[in-house]
Amino acid sequence: MGTEVVPSLAYKRATKYSVYLVFSTKLAMNNTWLQHKNATRLDIYIHQIYQHKMDPDLVIEDTKAIKSLIDRIEQLPADGDMMKSFGPDAEEIDLCFYYEGKCQQIEIYQGKFKTPSTGFNSNANESERKLYDDIVALLFPSINKQLLKIEELKLKFNNFSITYKGNELTDMAPVTASFTKDKFVIKDKNDKEQLVAIISGQLTPQPLLIKVNHSEMEILTYQTKEQQRLYPDYFQLVPKN
């Protein structure tokens, strides 16, 4: 059973404060978050409940990253024990997972995931809080935030952008040790691009010094300055000390 996507059916979801277009889903009794786990695209919308939002704020097409997010959602309790209402100014984030052109939607209100049972978990665990923080960091990237590595997702900062281009394995066996390059493209305020790479192999990946718009900063992929683990799923931009 699970979340049944109604084929080719779009309808206007209306509340007292908002009307916008989504694809219809029916929730089955076993309270599965998503019926189809092999989504090929994820659209993310953020808005206040009363607002109309037709265009996504982020589009993710990295299927490995999408699968990882789905796996994390599936680990959350699916039978919420609390009903809760929100005012028109409350923050709403919609995650639209596309499978064969149809959207399976997950809704987040004020940082709380609306469960398949239509309730909320009264005591959000660390996994739920971290997942929410990771999504918000992608929507509003900034220096010092931990950012998920998502291929081809352009993250826009105040006067520059950075795009993770994936990793590349160079197999040198049996002559010497193999190594991996994490590649990034940075574009400054004048659209000047630089391609950089961080190498990992026998040694842990080291901070990479870059210069953007006359400012120096570092890309971290192994751990933060506070020694919180980043590798292998996150990276972080920090000012050069």
Element (H, E) at 217: strand 215-220
Separation of alpha carbons 216 and 179, rounded Å: 26
Integer Cα distance of 161 and 45 in angstroms = 20
Answer positive or negative: Cα dihedral of 221, 226, 154, 98.
positive
**113-144 per-residue burial string, b: 16 or more CB within 10 A, e: under 16:** bbbbeebbbeebeeebeebbebbbbbeebeee
User: Residue 175 has what pLDDT?
Assistant: 65
Supply the mean pLDDT for the chain.
87
Domain positions in the chain are 3-139, 146-239
pLDDT in tens, 125-164: 999 999 999 999 999 999 999 999 999 999 999 999 999 9
* Spatial separation of the C-alpha atoms in residues 128 and 113, rounded to whole Å: 8
Residue 120, token pair as written in the block: 């909320």
**Tell me: the pLDDT tens digits for 76-103?**
999 999 999 999 999 999 999 999 999 9
Q: Are 89 and 140 in contact (CB under 8 A)?
A: no
pTM: 0.85
